[in-house]
Amino acid sequence: MPTLAESVVAILEPLVGQMVADTCVRATALSLGKSADELQGGDMPALESNVKRLLGPVAPRQTIDSIIAQIEGSIR
Amino acid sequence: MKATGAFSRRTWAVLVLGIVAAVIVQLLVTTGIGGETASVAISDIGGVLVIGMAALVTIRTALAFGAGESLRSQWLAIGAGIVLYVLGDLMWTYIEVVQGLDPPYPGLPDVFYVAMYVFLGYGIISAALAYRGLVKMRAPLIGSAVIGVASAAAIYIVLVKDIIADPGVALLEKALTAFYPVADTLLLLAPAVFIVLVVSQLGRGALGTPWRFVVAGVAVLAVADALYQWLEWQGLYSTGHLVDLGWMIGYVLLATGASVMRDLILPAARRV
């Protein structure tokens, strides 16, 4: 079963590419004092907030909402 | 992710119909159907219609984003730039087709053409800067500055220097003749190179695709403008020249970029 980090990268990758998707997840993990692999369901609020902050200026709002919903769906 | 995999039918329509319409206009003009007066009218009105369509597509894209979204202001600025260009062309058409006069250079249409650079340049630069939280900006900034300055210098040496030195050219005409190619490189081409270097860091990420069309469009516009300046200086330009096709296709590519960006709006996923 993929980790949360892997799931989030897989969801973000079609939009922002592998490298930026990785950076997005690692930056969130770093801000929480964790490694990307240690991210868990409880870190979702921080992850969502980071994704919204980084993608907000460059991607359509509806698309970001859709991505967040996909990420939430992936941990259920 | 459906929308990131392929272009929508609307996008294909904008690209294909835009290019086909531009080529038809150019063919009608080249074949000289209806005589010289008709050719001039077809060229002017055809250009207004094709580029007007590009403006409409771009503005509609901007308005598809919510109020307060960065993408809305970026694409509104680009759309406003194209609208200004169309207004300049409308004025040119009125003078040439309705009044039957040679449009003056510099003239009133140039006010709109010059204003276009401000909006188009602002839209592209603000779009590139919006990526600063996601990717590295220093290398693209330096790369685009070097390319912009080098291109401006090359255009100055090859084209502008001789026009400025020509005693037969009036001062305002010299200023405008220098402005267009320099603005093309510094206000359009350099920002376009900047954004393409920025989005190249996204790899295959779909967010980069709209901006690749914008860069292609700006490059075509810059080449068409430089050719126009040289032809005008040599007294070789007349309405309906092949260089007109470059302007039409350049703006069609900008509109295609706008439509590709609109394709990236995903329907809200159902929350479970």
Cβ <8 Å between A57 and B131 = yes
Does B71 fall in a domain? yes
The token duo for B212 is 């690749």
B interface test, pick of A63, A65, A68, A72 with most B CB neighbours within 10 Å = A63
Range of the domain at B73: 9-270
Render B208-272 in DSSP notation, one character per residue.
Answer: GHHHHHHHHHHHHHHHHHHHHHHHHHHT---TT-THHHHHHHHHHHHHHHHHHHHHT-PPPPPP-
| B143-163 residue pLDDT tens | 999 999 999 898 888 888 888
Cβ <8 Å between B65 and A61 = yes
Q: How many CB atoms within 10 Å of residue A12?
A: 24
- Structure pTM? 0.89
Across the interface, of B127, B205, B268, the residue whose CB is closest to A15 is B205
Cβ <8 Å between A58 and B269 = no
Does B3 fall in a domain? no
Does B157 fall in a domain? yes
pLDDT of residue B138: 95
Question: Which chain A residue is nearest to residue B67, measuring alpha carbons?
Answer: A61
Residue of B18, B52, B15 lying closest to B245 (CA atoms) = B18
Does B2 fall in a domain? no
A interface test, pick of B70, B134, B259, B261 with most A CB neighbours within 10 Å = B134
Q: Tell me the domain boundaries of chain A.
A: 4-74
Q: Higher model confidence: residue B213 or residue B6?
A: B213
pLDDT of residue B182: 87
User: In whole angstroms, what is the distance from residue B95 CA to residue A8 CA?
Assistant: 58
Do B104 and B110 touch, CB atoms closer than 8 A? no
| B37-70 residue pLDDT tens | 899 999 999 999 999 999 999 999 999 999 989 9
ipTM of the complex: 0.87
Give contacts of B201 with chain A, Cβ < 8 Å. Answer: 17, 19-20
Average pLDDT of span A1-16:
90
Cβ <8 Å between B272 and A73 = yes
Across the interface, of B134, B203, B265, the residue whose CB is closest to A63 is B265
A interface test, pick of B266, B270, B271, B272 with most A CB neighbours within 10 Å = B266
Distances (CA, A) of B67 to A39, B64, B70, B72, B125: 34, 9, 9, 7, 20
pLDDT of residue B270: 45
User: In whole angstroms, what is the distance from residue B161 CA to residue B157 CA?
Assistant: 6
Domain tally, chain B: 1
| B116-147 residue pLDDT tens | 999 999 999 999 999 998 899 999 999 999 99
Do A11 and A75 touch, CB atoms closer than 8 A? no
Where is B46: in which H helix or E strand? helix B35-64
